[in-house]
Amino acid sequence: MFLAAAGSLRSVAAACAGLRSRSALIHGLFFASGAASLTLQVVWFKQIQFVLGSSTFAISVTVAAFFLGLSAGGFLGGRLSDRTPFPLATYGTLELALAAVSLGVTLLLRQWMPMLEIIGPLAGPESAFGAPFAVIASLAVLLPPATLMGATLPLLAKHVVNQRDETAKRLGILYALNTLGAATGCALVGFVLIGAIGVLGSSLVALVAYVVIGVVARVLARGETARPPAVAPPDAVPVGGAGSINPVIFICAASGFVSIGYEVVWFRVLRNFTNHTVYAFSGMLAVYLLGLVVGALVCARWVAPRKETLLRDFVLLQAAIALGGTLSAVLLGFGPVLEHLFNPARLGLPEVIVRTIDAAAGFLGVAFVVLIVPTTLIGIGFPLASELATEHAAVVGRRVGRLYAWNTLAGVLGSLATGFLFLPLLGSFGTLSLLVALSVAVFAGGVAMIPSLRTGKFAATWRTGAPLCLAALGILFVTGPEIFKPVLVRSEGEVLAFKETRDATYVVVKHKGENGNEDYKQLIVNSESYANTLLPGRRYMALLAHLPTLLAPDPKNALVICIGTGTTVGSLTTYDSLETIVGVDLSREVFGFAPLFVPSNHSFHENPRVRQVPADGRHFLLGTAERFDVMTFEPPPPGDAGVVNLYSEEFYELARRRMKPGGTVAQWIPMTQNGRRAIPLMSLRAMLEQFPHVSFWMGNGREGIAIGTETPVRLDPVLLAARMSEPRVKADLHAIGIETVEDLLAMFVAADAAIEPLLEGAETITDDRPRIEYFNAYALGGVSYAETIAIRQPLDAYLTSPLPDAARFQAAVQLADAIGLEFDATLSGNKEEAARQLERAQALAPGSLYVQFLARGGQ
C-alpha cells in the first residue's frame, strides 16, 4: 500500500510538472507573439511611409488605422472566444492566419514602386484626394492584420482563466508577458534586426515566429477540453455591486485616452535629450512598454489578491496616475541634471566606449527615471479593470475583448487629440497639465458614478484620492511652464521665436558673433540644430543652389526639398532664368519662420516665383507630375530617423523620373557631422547606383555636394563665368567667398568611376536596407578632407575650353585645401597644424571673406 501511495504521488507530481510546463509554454507563445507583432508594426510603418509620406498627418492616420484594427479585433475576438469550445486551438489558427495575412501585407508594401504611376496622382500631398487616400490605404492595408492581432488576447484570456476570481492575476501575467514581448521586439527590430538583415528579413523573422506559435498552439490544443458556449448566470452580480460594469469600462476607456496622451507628450519632450535616431525612438518605446510590464506584474502579484478592495483600488489608481503625470513633468524639468548623472564618462570607461554610448546612456537614463513610475501605474489598470468588468468566468473572453476594444479605441482618440489639438494649442507643459486634470476628472467621475464608493466601508475613497489629486494639480501650478524651458530650448542666446506644433518644437535663436564676426541665427528643431546663418553654413547651403543651376544647360524651374533657414531657396531666386521654384518642407512652420532669416534667404517667402508646399519631400515627388531642371536636397542629418528615405536608391530613382532631360540633382553629403564615416560614403554610393553620372564637390572643409546627371559633367568656364556675372548671382556668391569661376571650379573633386576609391567597401542604401539609420556598428569618425582630395582628378578632362586664368585656379585649389586641412587639424585637436594651414590660407587670399571669418576664430 505504501508503494502504491508513493507511486500515486509521483504520478500526481509528474502531472503537475507537465501542467506547469504546458502553461509556461503557452505564456511563452504570447510573449513571442508580442515580439513578432511589434516587429511587424515597425516594419509596416516604415514601408507605408514610402507611399503616404512621413508627415504628422500620414503617420497619425497610419497609427490610428493600426489601433482601430486592434480595437476591432479585441471586440470580435472576445465574442469568438466565448463561443468556441477550443479557444487555444482557435488562437493557434489565428496566429497561422496572421502569418499569411502579414506576408501579404509585407509583399504588397514592398511593391509600391511598380504601383507608382497608378497611385501617384491620388497620393500626392497637393491632390484633393490625398487625405482620403491616406485613410483608405491605411485601413485597407493595416486593418486585417491588426484585427487578427487584437483578437488573440481574449482567446488566450479565455483559455488561461478558469475561475472568475483569478482574472486579474492570470490576465496580468498574460498581458505583462505579451507587453514584455513587444518591448523585446521593439528593442530587437530597432537596435539589431533591420540593421543586420533589413526590412524584409525582419518581417520574415516575425512571420516565421507566427507560424511556429500557431503550430505549437495547435499541438498543445490536442489535449484541450471542449468548453460549452458561454452563458452568464442571470443573477450574476459584478464585483463592486450592480451597475458597476459600465463605469468600469468607461473609466478604463478614459484612462486609455489619457495614457496615450501622456505617451505623446513624454515622447515629444524626451526627444530633446538625444539625437533623433531610430535608437532613440526604439529606446523610448521599449522603456514605456517595460513600465507597462512592471505594472501588470505588480497587479498580478500584489493588487489582484485584494479582492474586496479591487474596485476602490481601480478608482484610486486614477488619482495615482494623475500624481505620476505630475512627477513626470517635474523630472522632465530636471532632465538635464539627470542626463549629466547618467553620463558614462563619469564611470571612467574607455573613451571609445564613452563616445559610442554617450548620448544613448544619458537619454535612456532620463527616459527610465521619467517614465517608470507613471507607466507602472498605467500598466496596473488594464488587468485590474478586466477582473472588475468580468462578472463570470464563462464570459471572460467577451468582457476582456470589449474592454480591450474600448481602451484601444480611446487610446487612438487620445493620440490624435494630443498631437493635433492639445500640443499646438497648449504646448507640452499645458498639455501635460490638461492630461493630469483629466486623470483627476476620471477619479472624480469614478467616485461619482459608483455608489459603493460613496457609502459603507469605501465611503472614504474620495478622502484618500483627493489629496493625491490636489497635490498633482498644486505642484503643476507652483512649477509652471517655465520648468520645461531649459529642456525645450537648450540653447544659449536670444530666443526670437518659440513654437510647439503638431510636428515638433521649433526655436529660432540669435547668437552674438565672437571676435568681430557678425551675429548669426539658428533654427533648432526638438533641440537639434537644423540650420544657421554662420558663413560656413550659408556657403554650402547657397552652393546647393548655385552648383546644380550653373551646371544645368537651360534651367527654367527648380525644386528644393527641405527648407531650413531658406538660404538655398533664396539663392535660387537670384537666377532670373528660373521661372518657378517649388520649396517643399515637412513642416508648414518652417516657411513661417522665413522672415527671421532675412537677408540670408533673400526674402524668398515674398517672391512670387516660389511655391511653398508643406509636405514630405519624397511623397511630393511620388504625387507630382511636374518635371524639373534643377532639384536640390538638403535633408536633416542622414543618421536621423526617417531621413534615410531621402538618401536611398529608390528615392534617387524617383528623382530621376521627375528630372527633365539635361537636368541636375544636388544632394548634401555631410562628411563629418554624424560621427560615422560609413554614412557619407554610403550616401554617395546610393547616388552612383542610380545616376549614370555623379560629380562630387566640396563646399567647404566638411560639407560635400554630389551632383547627379544623365550625361557626363562638362564644364564650360566661359558660360559659367557669364552666368556668375549676373548682378544678383555675383553678389550672392561674393557673400560666401566665391569671386571667380576659378574659385567655383576649385571645389571640384572627382566624377563617376574616379569616386570609387573613396567608397571602397561602402555598401549602398535601399528602402529594404536603410543602413545609415542603423549605424551603431560602424567605425567612429568622419571622412577627412585629406581623404577626399586624395581622389581629386585633374580638371582638364571635364573642361570644354581652357580656364581664363590657370594660375588663379591653382591658387584657388591651394586655398580650398588650406581651409579643408585647417578643419581636419581643428577636428583632431592639432592646434599647431590648424594654425599653420590658417596662415597659409591668409597668405593666399587675405581679402577673402571666408578666410577672414576663420581668422577671427569661426568654424
The string of DSSP letters for 804-849 reads: S-HHHHHHHHHHHHHHHHHHHHHHHT-HHHHHHHHHHHHHH-TT-H
Same domain, 202 and 294: no
| pLDDT tens digits for range 674-692 | 778 999 999 999 999 999 9
Same domain, 582 and 725: yes
Same domain, 422 and 375: yes
Same domain, 582 and 436: no
671 domain residue, yes or no: yes
658 domain residue, yes or no: yes
Contact 410, 254 (CB under 8 A): yes
For residue 446, the enclosing domain spans 242-395+415-488
810 domain residue, yes or no: no
523 domain residue, yes or no: no
Window from 378-387, 391-400, 663-672 with minimum mean pLDDT: 391-400
Same domain, 186 and 277: no
Taking 50 as the threshold, does the pLDDT of residue 363 lie above it?
Answer: yes
Same domain, 611 and 696: yes
Q: What is the pLDDT of residue 241?
A: 42
Cell numbers given for 749: 573633386
Same domain, 296 and 352: yes
Same domain, 140 and 45: yes
Burial of 720 (0-12, 13-18, 19+ CB in 10 A): middle
Taking 90 as the threshold, does the pLDDT of residue 95 lie above it?
Answer: yes
Taking 90 as the threshold, does the pLDDT of residue 4 lie above it?
Answer: no
> Omega into 451 within 30° of 0, i.e. cis?
no
237 domain residue, yes or no: no
Average pLDDT over residues 621-649: 92
- Measured distance CA(458)–CA(455) in Å, rounded: 6
Adjacency order of strands within the sheet including 520-525: 494-500, 505-511, 520-525, 528-532
| pLDDT tens digits for range 395-437 | 567 778 888 999 999 999 999 999 999 999 999 999 999 999 9
Q: What is the pLDDT of residue 391?
A: 55
Average pLDDT over residues 39-62: 86
694 domain residue, yes or no: yes
Cell numbers given for 351: 573613451
11 domain residue, yes or no: no
Pick from 433, 432, 382: which is nearest to 411 by CA? 382
Average pLDDT over residues 651-677: 92
**How many percent of the chain have pLDDT more than 70?**
90
Same domain, 175 and 57: yes
656 domain residue, yes or no: yes
Q: CA separation (Å) from 437 to 171, 253, 563, 686?
A: 29, 16, 38, 50
Same domain, 212 and 247: no
Total count of domains within the chain = 3
Same domain, 249 and 365: yes
| pLDDT tens digits for range 706-717 | 999 999 999 999
Same domain, 180 and 271: no
- The CATH number of whichever domain residue 40 belongs to comes to 1.20.1250.20
Taking 60 as the threshold, does the pLDDT of residue 240 lie above it?
Answer: no
Q: How confident is the model at residue 152 (pLDDT cuts 50, 70, 90)?
A: very high
Q: Which of 192, 224, 256 is the C-terminal boundary of a domain?
A: 224
- Measured distance CA(682)–CA(762) in Å, rounded: 6
- The CATH number of whichever domain residue 792 belongs to comes to 3.40.50.150
